[in-house]
Structure formats: C-alpha cells, structure tokens
Amino acid sequence: MPFDGNKWMDKKMVSYSEMLKKITQVYPGLMKVSDKSNDTSKAYKVPGFVGQIGFITSMSENFCGSCNRVRLTADGNLKVCLFGSSEVSLRDVMRDGCTDEELLDVIGVAVGRKKRQHAGMQNLAKLKNRPMILIGG
C-alpha cells in the first residue's frame, strides 16, 4: 500500500485475482470463507489445513463503501480512512473542554465525510499521507 517513504511501485504489486490464481494452482480445493458485512479482508481456507488466509484488496478491489474502520493516531487525530490525508484533532477539542456529546458530534461529522471510494491505485501513490509508523497499525 502506498505510504510516504515505503517506495511503493505498482509494477511490483500482485493483484487479488493474480494471488488467487497462483494459490489455486497449488491448492485447487481453496474455499471461500463467509465474510461479515464490514470485513476488510476476503478469507479463504484450504481443506485439511488449520487456519485460514485473508486478502486485503484495497489496491485492486476497493471496499471503501462498506469499511467501518477508523483510527486514532498517537497524537490524538482521528483518521476515517487509512489512505486519506484528512484528519480531525480530537485532542484539541477535548483539551478545549468539549462535552461527550460535542465530541461525538465531531466524530460523527468526520465519519459522515468518509468517501465511498479511494482515489484509485494510480492516484494513491501520488497523494501525501503519513507513513504507517506515524499512523499506527
């Protein structure tokens, strides 16, 4: 995933469909595991093996419209999209003495602005965003 400083190159990316094709060549019995409505990964299981594998397909098949994830950064900012550069400072409104209801309103407005789809693989690499180490995750 393209973040500042990680030297993202779309030519090196292996898409979800390519990964599935390669894995099913070795494990033709690969079975889809039922996902929940807001899952950000697509889960699979190989019969006879313990565990499962999951694919986070944000670069080749986005799932933004059903994603309900938010992140609170170490410096008190709320990010409603891992790829988005937009952040809302919860730290500042809390230090200003907001009530719980006012804090919920700030969070609600931020979540309400969440986009249904990110900018697309080619455009994401060009957007300015914190590196993962500064986002948390």
Asked if residue 83 lies in contact with residue 1, where contact means CB atoms within 8 angstroms, the answer is: yes
Is a pLDDT exceeding 80 seen at residue 73? yes
Between these two residues, 75 and 60, which has the higher pLDDT value? 75
Is a pLDDT exceeding 60 seen at residue 29? yes
Between these two residues, 119 and 47, which has the higher pLDDT value? 47
Q: Find which of 41-55, 66-80, 117-131 is predicted with most confidence, using mean pLDDT.
A: 41-55
124's CB contacts (< 8 A; 6+ apart) are 1, 2, 59, 83, 118
Between these two residues, 1 and 88, which has the higher pLDDT value? 88
* pTM for the model: 0.65
What the block records as the tokens of 22 is 């390669």
